[in-house]
Amino acid sequence: HPPSPLPPRPRLLQSLGSCSRRAATYAASSPSPSPPGWPRPLRYAVLGAGFAGLSVAWHLLKQSPKDSRVSVDVYDENGVGGGASGVSGGLLHPYSPKAKLLWRGGEFWKESMDLLRSAEKANGTAGSDGASRDDEALIWRRGILRPPTTEKAADILLENAQSCLQSCSLQVLDSDAAQRLIPGLRVPLNLAIYMPLALNINPRKYLQALFSACQNVANEASASSSEQKEFNLYNEHIDNLHQFSGDYDAVIICLGGKASSLPELTNKLPLRTCRGVIAEFRLPSDTVEKYGSRSPSILSDAWLAFQGPRTVSVGSTWQWKSDNHDPSVSNEEARSAMEELLPKASAVYPGISKWDYVRARAGIRAMPPLTANGSLPLLGCLNDVIGERSNSAFWLVGGLGARGLLYHGLAGKLTAKAVISSDENMIPSEFTCWKRV
């Protein structure tokens, strides 16, 4: 079940603890009164409960000094995974569309895997697909197959496949081998790249499990006599940053495409917004044929993320400069998305024509600028960018774009270290150089 939010927070910090204690059934237990001589609690506000926000919250709780008092409050008007993160595709691997290992791809991959394992542990499904029903799983460990559709793409994929991570290897398959993995697959060029260790994640279930993991960390710490940690969720609309000024030691903005709409950040972030629509299909119950229980998902000009033998999500469209944050999709928008996505999906998996359309959902990606190292998340302290004096330090984790699942682990870890130490130099300059452009 999705975590329940706390009631609207009282304005004054002195009241926040009592509010949290009243809500102990759905937030981490509030710490008991501090012994004499204990330092005041460090208070952190995390704006956004998607991939970036919950990664930052997790690492703030895990990395805070021992024998410390820490309070982490997460704010999201739509709850956990209610924004674009909750409707993302869920395919996880450390490679570019051309199968080239991304800059620091191994590190991104490792940190994301660490967070996934923590979420699985909290969910009680570590190491398995994690559900009695396949379509209810948290993670599907069946790999991803990429069949190129042009000679140029095939040449590039073949060249890049020579360099890969051992922890997420690439295998070059011919048509017969690829079709043994996915019966009915069309392999136009007798070549497919297989990523056997790549994952297909249920984004919303993963985020709910990661939220539970954060609660567990806070509860376990507060049960000890040497440290106190508190973790809360507030279902509250964020109008501006001024409403948090002075209440917290640090405020970390993880709002994706909505970050630029804050008045303090309007026209100050080099982000472009892009709305993406994902369509969900189901195989009719009276159809004998079904997708293989161990067959991988498919990544081509469109991607097909299979969640069991009878459910698949197909994506995604790219509507640039959109400011439509509504996750619901109109009939007209859904029809337009189907016209774009189905021919691409059918080019590699003709059997999709037998599947019934169920619904469509959408989210806004916050796309960062292209750098010499690729499109990297925007991290760093915002006090100079905002240009206003405040008793709080403001930080950004933004621009995860279409790679939120891959980027969120390392981005959250680096930011938490910098926030705790009040030192932006803890973050590699490649992630903060956007402020100098």
Q: What is the pLDDT of residues 257-266, one digit of tens each?
A: 999 999 999 9
Choice among 85-89, 108-112, 191-195, 359-363 with the minimum mean pLDDT:
85-89
Degrees to nearest 5, angle at CA 293 with 289 and 298 = 90
Token pair belonging to 64 = 């805070």
Per-residue pLDDT at 389: 76
Query: What pLDDT band is residue 24 in, cutting at 50, 70 and 90?
Result: very low
Query: Measured between alpha carbons, how far is 49 from 217 in angstroms, rounded to an integer?
Result: 17
Per-residue pLDDT at 99: 87
- All domains of the chain in start order, with CATH: 42-85+204-271+371-436 (3.40.50.720), 272-367 (3.30.70)
Per-residue pLDDT at 12: 34
Match 């996880």 to its residue by tokens: 92
pTM for this one?
A: 0.90
Token pair belonging to 76 = 């999201």
Comparison of pLDDT for 11 and 229, the residue scoring more: 229
Contact predicate 9/19, CB 8 Å: yes
Phi and psi at 111, nearest 5°, equal: -65, -35
Query: Measured between alpha carbons, how far is 408 from 421 in angstroms, rounded to an integer?
Result: 20
Among residues 385, 368, 387, 386, the alpha carbon closest in space to that of 431 is found at 368
Among residues 22, 6, 137, 121, the alpha carbon closest in space to that of 72 is found at 6
Q: Which residues pair with 275 in a beta bridge?
A: 319, 364
Query: What pLDDT band is residue 38 in, cutting at 50, 70 and 90?
Result: low
Contact predicate 342/352, CB 8 Å: yes
Q: What is the pLDDT of residues 108-160, one digit of tens each?
A: 999 999 999 999 999 987 655 544 455 568 999 999 999 999 999 999 999 98
Match 């509010």 to its residue by tokens: 19
Per-residue pLDDT at 134: 57
pLDDT at 8 over 70: no
**Residue ranges of the alpha helices (H) in 284-382?**
331-348
Query: Measured between alpha carbons, how far is 15 from 9 in angstroms, rounded to an integer?
Result: 8
pLDDT at 329 over 90: yes
SS3 (DSSP) at 370? strand
411 membership: H or E segment, kind and range: helix 404-421
Average confidence (pLDDT) over 72-87: 88
Q: How many other CB atoms are there within 10 angstroms of residue 19's CB atom?
A: 17
Q: What is the pLDDT of residues 377-411, one digit of tens each?
A: 999 999 999 987 778 899 999 999 999 999 999 99
Per-residue pLDDT at 231: 96
pLDDT at 359 over 70: yes
75 membership: H or E segment, kind and range: strand 69-75
Cα–Cα separations (whole angstroms), residue 57 to 81, 160, 423 = 14, 35, 18
Q: What amino acid is encoded at 385 in this protein?
A: V
CA R_g for the chain: 22
pLDDT at 238 over 80: yes
As a residue count, the chain comes to 437
